[in-house]
Chains A and B, each alone.
Chain A
């Protein structure tokens, strides 16, 4: 049976209006996430990765304006549907311990959406599965190590029973070893039929663990590609930015990408990567570059083949 598409994002844009000034944080983003797969969303900090997760959950700050269309199992995500879906069908695996209430024992924070007895028993079982000792239930967030925090947050995600997991930067601050361990858990989630959106700045880990990789740059999507396209010298990749990002990794020659990513204020209509692109032509500056399907992925580059 074909795996069902859980999340569809079409042409999502997010703008912030503050003191009359409008800044575009995300624009023209289109993605899908299917059951059983890990989709990594990769980008430098400031590319808009976390915003994407918050936008899907409908939890952007009040001065945000969202356009475009997002659906979950064909159901449009909006103020009406989201309150029913948040925490039940779609949930967040946040990035750090600051996302836990500092004054509540972590065990309770994991099970509070459920009734106490059942919740506590299930949490205890999950903690054991994740190698957390029973005392951790009574600990407060400030008493957890980075790896423990991760496992506590994962327990909460599993307990929620959500099918779409938005994992926001689950690996920073962890040793390579622990990070791999964490990603194995994500893989297990996918195997159980969930869809995982893995938001990360770590292309290396993303390629290692995800099925597909979406590359975010300056608030827009430049490419989605099967993870296996990130191989050798990156010739299979569609976008010049993905290629340079890939070749900037130490094991691929450490060729740095020169120049800086435009910040939200200075984003242009035409190709956002043009100022740094080695392959640009006069044509690239003329008009907005649309996202188009190419070889089983998508790309936003007029010259990609």
Chain B
């Protein structure tokens, strides 16, 4: 067991390193094709910067070197933990990412928990009685949700709850003109609720539909029949055998959804001008802030990878069929 676990973890680590390297290569290649000139983006419209100074800046960033060497340079500084300085914020990329990610973490965390719990709940409600009114209603709702773009959902929520009803602020993550230390938890929550709701609505449908399918399959399964034959009531059987068999794929799916979560947060943050990592990505892209953009690409790759790894790990440790399968000897 210990040997197998170690091998599993080592394999994960190697895969992570190679994935990050590939992500570096690909994003560097893509950005080198980008029409945005980083020096131009950096100095902006300022006329006081002479041609001479521009070349110096370019040389300072190593832009006068051939691409392969630039890549090597960039890679070696990343390896040392230096992601460079954001052109837009004039601060180290890591600091910007750290700060923005914290804001996004609130948003994504709340959305993630909501979508997981509500999705699971709706899925159970729908799957318990296949073909019932509940089932039809919930399935319709989920199909509608998954065919609606996130930013559109965001705008509708914004319109209804912030503009018409005025229950929530229209944007940002904290009230304007309030000092950092005076921002209350309530302020933060009221700012995060709408974007989080938008994001969780997007993530809920797959979980609910998946849970529904799974529950229907479980209810038809031989082991549920046997549990009932042994005198278990419907709920006891569901709790004792259903939930475990239901939760495993649901939890796995939920952790594997980090990519969708991050992708959705880019859109949701844009709609609500919520200053998180997603919005930073948009800004960096639009303003040619290459170091920041590359940093975010790497960071989000890592983020998604961690989610997927947790999903694998959970399956590995919870599901005995996988944990023990390769050990041989039945």
Contacts and interface: CB of A to CB of B under 8 A. Distances in A.
B230 A102 contact: no
Contacts of B320: 103, 105, 140, 142
User: Main SS of chain A's interface residues?
Assistant: loop
Contacts of A86: 228-231
Interface in A77-131: 83, 85-88, 91-92, 94, 96, 98-105, 112-113
Interface residues of B, number: 24
Contacts of B227: 101
Contacts of B233: 83
B232 interface: yes
A54 B233 CA distance: 16
A101 B244 CA distance: 10
A177 to B, nearest CB: 20
B239 to A, nearest CB: 12
A160 interface: yes
Nearest to A140: B320
Chain B at the A interface: mostly helix, strand, loop or mixed?
helix
A160 B226 CA distance: 13
A233 interface: no
B230 A87 contact: yes
B7 interface: no
Interface residues of A, number: 29
B324 interface: yes
Interface of A: 54, 57, 59, 83, 85-88, 91-92, 94, 96, 98-105, 112-113, 140, 142-145, 156, 160
22 contacts: A59-B229, A83-B231, A83-B233, A87-B231, A91-B229, A92-B230, A94-B222, A99-B222, A99-B225, A100-B223, A101-B227, A101-B244, A102-B321, A103-B241, A103-B318, A103-B319, A104-B241, A104-B244, A142-B321, A142-B325, A145-B330, A156-B230
Q: 9 closest Cβ contacts across the A-B interface?
A: A87-B231, A87-B230, A92-B229, A99-B226, A98-B222, A86-B231, A140-B320, A99-B222, A101-B241
